[in-house]
Amino acid sequence: MRFPRDSYTSTERKIFQIGGPATPASLVHSYLDLKAACALANHGFGRLPRVKTRAIIEAIARLRRIQPGSRKWHSTFTIGGYQPGAGTALNMNVNEAIALLAGLEPNDDVNASQSSNDTYPTAVRIAALRLIPSLETALDDCINRLNTLARKQRGILKPGRTHLQDAVPIDLSEQWLSHARTLEKCARWIHVAATGLRELPLGGTAVGTGTNAPRGFRRAAIAELARITGMRGLRPAIQGLELQASHLDLAALAGSLELLAVSLLRIGSDLRLQASGPRTGLGELKLPELLPGSSIMPGKINPGALECLHQFSLDAIALATQARWAESMGQFELNVMLPAFGPGLIHQLEAWPRALRLLSERVLAGVRIDRKRMSQRVRDSEQWATLLTPRHGYAQVASWVRQARAAGMSFMDWLSREKPEISAEILPGSGETRKPASPERKRKRSEHQQKNR
């Protein structure tokens, strides 16, 4: 599409050439839906005649048919990367693209009863709401995979570790259940953050008061937008200025994604350590072998899927930091910094389902246990000793641990050799100890053995 030389889009393209990521197609499509809703609402209030309304709707339909990423797409929607504040550049890019196809005025007709200040944050919110269900579905799949692993591996002991040192052995299912519970919390936080996005600033125009829009335009335009998008629960802002002076709801969504990223970094780090090796690491878990890990070391297989997920998670953490700073930089009746993180948030939401499917389908679905090595690690753990402290006291058991170390033996092997009667108190595989026999029980056992002789 060729924009006039004096158009806002052409001027912006000449001046702001820093670059950066392109505007997400889902954000552009949300803007087009918003423009259609506003045109229909304006027609209902007599602000646009039927012929102009129809021309706008038809132009939007033509623009929606352009393939994202194609040469025509990039020549039409040219705004991306770093741009003037408040989303004016993208709003005018969309206005002028529609106006060129419809033969109308971009400001007086396409942008009637609107401003960049209320339409841009509305478009970001709508784009985010469209993408969140796919993220939630992928996250639920990860949770289900973890719960399945917990069911299948219940009863298998693993070495406990705290401070990267031996701790009390635990059932392997507890590890998977812990990870699942963490992701369930993340899913809840994302859902709560998404709920706030259904409150829209559309119709507030420049400063949230609705100046230059007909009375009732907010509700009418949002009702049309809900009909076009099929979204339920869309509603006008409770306080018009607040959603233009602040983008806290969107920053909260970025923050909830940061918490998910942080959680995945921790979970992924545990899996990488447990699968480290194959000879010189822990080697208790075996991850799927997806591709060669080295261009020089033959046979090497790295945990590439988890490494990729970690890099993506770092990007999510960076975006949340950007969102917090952008939110803090609003002044008076407008926060102009939403373009600093709004498009990045949409890019993140587009990518999160793929990242989570990578974890679910390429890691969790194929993770296996090296039972022999895990069993040996459990046997070698020093902290079977913890089970003996209630009966024998901390100081006494600690001295046995030190003696086992000095002998160069595992605690269980040393205990079996030096204190077999105490070793028998521990029930390997259960994490419990036998109750010592009472004097009466010992007497009856002795009499029974003598009688059998």
Looking at this protein, which amino acid is placed at residue 123? A
Report whether pLDDT(443) > 60.
Answer: no
Measure the CA–CA gap between 334 and 118, rounded to whole angstroms.
Answer: 10
pLDDT score for 175: 97
- Most distant CA pair in the chain: distance in Å? 111
- DSSP letters spanning 94-115: HHHHHHHHHTS-IIIIITTT--
Report whether pLDDT(193) > 50.
Answer: yes
Measure the CA–CA gap between 299 and 207, rounded to whole angstroms.
Answer: 63
Going by the DSSP 8-state scheme, the letter that residue 80 receives in this structure is: B
Q: How confident is the model at residue 434 (pLDDT cuts 50, 70, 90)?
A: very low
**Average pLDDT over the chain, rounded to an integer:** 93
pLDDT score for 84: 87
Least reliable range by pLDDT among 17-21, 104-108, 157-161, 386-390: 17-21
The share of the chain scoring above pLDDT 90, in percent, equals: 87
Report whether pLDDT(182) > 90.
Answer: yes
Provide the CA 244 distance to its chain's centre, in angstroms: 26
Mean of pLDDT values over 10-39: 92
Mean of pLDDT values over 363-378: 95
Measure the CA–CA gap between 101 and 65, rounded to whole angstroms.
Answer: 13
Give residues with Cβ within 8 angstroms of 219, minimum separation 6. 203, 236
Q: How confident is the model at residue 435 (pLDDT cuts 50, 70, 90)?
A: very low
pLDDT score for 85: 86
Tokens of 364: 């969790």
User: What confidence tens digit (pLDDT) does each residue in 51-83 have?
Assistant: 999 999 999 999 999 999 999 999 999 888 788
**Environment class of 42 (CB within 10 Å of its CB; exposed 0-12, middle 13-18, buried 19+):** buried
Report whether pLDDT(395) > 60.
Answer: yes
Question: 129-204+244-371 belongs to which CATH class?
Answer: mainly alpha
Report whether pLDDT(444) > 70.
Answer: no
Report whether pLDDT(303) > 80.
Answer: yes
Question: ∠426-428-432 over CA atoms, to 5°?
Answer: 50
Report whether pLDDT(19) > 60.
Answer: yes
Phi, psi of 336 (to 5 degrees): -85, 0
Report whether pLDDT(164) > 70.
Answer: yes
Q: Is 319 helix (H, G, I), strand (E, B) or coil?
A: helix
Report whether pLDDT(446) > 90.
Answer: no
**Environment class of 246 (CB within 10 Å of its CB; exposed 0-12, middle 13-18, buried 19+):** middle
Catalytic residue numbers read 163, 294
Tokens of 269: 């780090």
pLDDT score for 448: 55
The structural domains of the chain, with segments of one domain joined by +, span 8-112, 129-204+244-371, 381-452
Report whether pLDDT(441) > 80.
Answer: no
Closest by alpha carbon to 346, among 5, 3, 27? 27
Q: How confident is the model at residue 449 (pLDDT cuts 50, 70, 90)?
A: low
User: What confidence tens digit (pLDDT) does each residue in 319-354 have?
Assistant: 999 999 999 999 999 999 999 999 999 999 999 999
Measure the CA–CA gap between 284 and 158, rounded to whole angstroms.
Answer: 9
User: What confidence tens digit (pLDDT) does each residue in 207-240 have?
Assistant: 999 999 999 999 999 999 999 999 999 999 999 9
Closest by alpha carbon to 411, among 419, 421, 420, 401? 401
Q: How confident is the model at residue 445 (pLDDT cuts 50, 70, 90)?
A: low
Angle at which helix 116-152 crosses helix 248-274, to 10 degrees, equals 30
Tokens of 304: 């590439």
Q: How confident is the model at residue 447 (pLDDT cuts 50, 70, 90)?
A: low
Closest by alpha carbon to 116, among 194, 6, 21, 8? 8
Report whether pLDDT(148) > 90.
Answer: yes
Measure the CA–CA gap between 243 and 19, rounded to whole angstroms.
Answer: 28
Q: Which of 3-12, 74-83, 126-135 shows the highest mean pLDDT? A: 126-135
Phi, psi of 58 (to 5 degrees): -70, -40
With beta carbons less than 8 A apart as the criterion, state whether 362 and 329 touch: no
Angle at which helix 116-152 crosses helix 342-362, to 10 degrees, equals 10
Q: What is the pTM of this model?
A: 0.91
pLDDT score for 387: 93
Question: 8-112 belongs to which CATH class?
Answer: mainly alpha
Name the residue with tokens 């829009």: 213
Tokens of 9: 């889009």
Measure the CA–CA gap between 84 and 13, rounded to whole angstroms.
Answer: 11
Give residues with Cβ within 8 angstroms of 76, minimum separation 6. 1, 63, 66, 97
Q: Is the dihedral of CA 96, 117, 239, 132 positive or negative?
A: positive
Mean of pLDDT values over 286-305: 93
Question: ∠332-335-338 over CA atoms, to 5°?
Answer: 180
Closest by alpha carbon to 328, among 250, 248, 249? 248
pLDDT score for 342: 96
